[in-house]
Chains A and B, each alone.
Chain A
């Protein structure tokens, strides 16, 4: 799946104790950087990717040959300006773009599959923390990410309260909701119900649960959009036909679109990684780590927070983002919040939403001026 030569990896020698109780060591973290680290090493931004993202934030992803997942936001003169900032992003552990994951081999040279340890958001950020040592960065200028990336942002600043000056969680939550667990379970069931999944051992069986993974992606994709956005883009428009065909082909454009989204996803993503990463999201409950008091997660940090949500995001709705704002305000933290008007649903943070991009840029640039 990976063309190894295009992937930079850091081998973490230090043992990492995972939440599940197992310990991993000598494991790879695949990362990419953009821009350059200045001499004071005070311009680094650590970006965390979402469920199906990877370290290739912007420009052309050398593995998929497609635009990076955050190309609208990150690059020269963009909101996260790589002329100014040094952007680091790494593939989460459990992922499939070079970091330690279920498609890797265990010490007995057998592909892990579902024998890979179950990982959590906490494990992900503890693994990624090693990148700071690698680059000799004492304190990041900012950490940011949307969706699962936002969860990592929250966990990171909770674990390492003095390691970032600013903190920008976007379209996220501090605790995965029942509805979101339900959608993830639907995806996992689609994968494991595919007879080619073979209890996770599809690689050694020379099969691939592509159909199950495609269905998982299709279902999830719907949750990333809004009803209004879908209606405006597709409505009841027919796919390359004058009339209904009275069959089960993709009569409607929306059907064709979803099938396409499912099929291209299968080419770039590993089914077992999808199981592991969705599980990590489901297990995420930051308040629970602090006996139900979310504020305590942030009690030791002096970082400046800026939280962003989107009006049409029903997956990580404004209220769940505001709950984080409330927890921060109740301990007098420095927190700003804005809800961006957008019809593009949860995916808004990945798309060309000018109000969002200008808010992100202004917050970063003004905060950096005050440095």
Chain B
């Protein structure tokens, strides 16, 4: 399991009710169910991935996060997880609002466009960055709204969303992000992980 999922799992206490939005093949869901006795649900747009989840015995709903989150009542989950998908939505702000409506807390991870390799790629090569966390070319990327850790940090603050914990992930190392080290973390982390609440 990738390090990102381990960090997310560490943020969630045992026996909670969790919705994994864009749960893909259910790797994180299965880990949470087996190791933390989490009552876990998934929402996934890809039919193939939904089938993979069913084969793992996971409860998954085929659906689109931009349309189908509205069927869940307010605060019906302890945590709602959104891993590296926010940037792919037509309207990330609306999805973020929905995550925070449905969940007591939300865990959102974003690939960091401020990562030094991304900056250097554009600066030196003059072409759109392709990295480990941003593997696609400009013409086939699902990403519509790329942002940096700094962008996201300021964005949630401006929306009066409370940040419980924000972590910078660089390969296997995770570290706390705060106001004072934001500039450095924004340069050296390829992924940001935010535990937020509204």
Binding site for B on A (CB under 8 A): 304, 306, 325-326, 329-332, 334-341, 355, 358-359, 362-363, 366-367, 369-370
Contact = CB atoms under 8 A, between A and B. Distances in A.
Interface of A is mostly: mixed
B55 A362 contact: yes
Interface of B is mostly: mixed
Given A336-B61, A369-B57, A325 B73 contact: no
B3 interface: no
B121 interface: no
A370 B54 contact: no
Given A329-B71, A330-B73, A363 B54 contact: yes
Interface in B46-84: 47, 50-51, 54-63, 71-73, 76
A339 B62 contact: yes
B56 A337 contact: no
Contacts of B61: 325, 329, 335-337
Contacts of B71: 325-326, 329-330
A332 B73 contact: yes
24 contacts: A306-B54, A329-B61, A329-B71, A329-B73, A330-B71, A332-B73, A335-B59, A336-B54, A336-B58, A337-B60, A337-B61, A337-B63, A338-B50, A338-B51, A338-B54, A338-B62, A339-B47, A339-B62, A340-B47, A359-B54, A362-B51, A362-B57, A363-B54, A366-B55
Interface residues of B, number: 18
Interface in B12-71: 41, 47, 50-51, 54-63, 71
Contacts, number: 56
A317 to B, nearest CB: 14
Contacts of A336: 54, 58-61
Across the A-B interface, the 3 shortest Cβ-Cβ residue pairs: A366-B57, A326-B71, A362-B55
A369 B33 CA distance: 15
Nearest to A340: B47
A338 B47 contact: yes
A239 B56 CA distance: 48
Contacts of A340: 47
A369 B57 CA distance: 9
Nearest to B60: A336
Given A329-B72, A355-B51, A370 B60 contact: no
Contacts of A325: 61, 71
A304 B60 CA distance: 12
Contacts of B55: 358, 362, 366
A331 B57 CA distance: 22
A362 B60 CA distance: 13
A201 B60 CA distance: 51
B34 to A, nearest CB: 12
Contacts of B58: 336
B21 to A, nearest CB: 13
B54 A304 contact: no
B43 to A, nearest CB: 10
Contacts of B41: 334
Nearest to A325: B61
A304 B51 CA distance: 17
A366 B50 contact: no
Contacts of A341: 47
Contacts of A355: 47, 51
A367 B57 contact: yes
Nearest to B52: A362
Nearest to A331: B73
A359 B51 contact: yes
A367 B59 CA distance: 10
A170 to B, nearest CB: 14
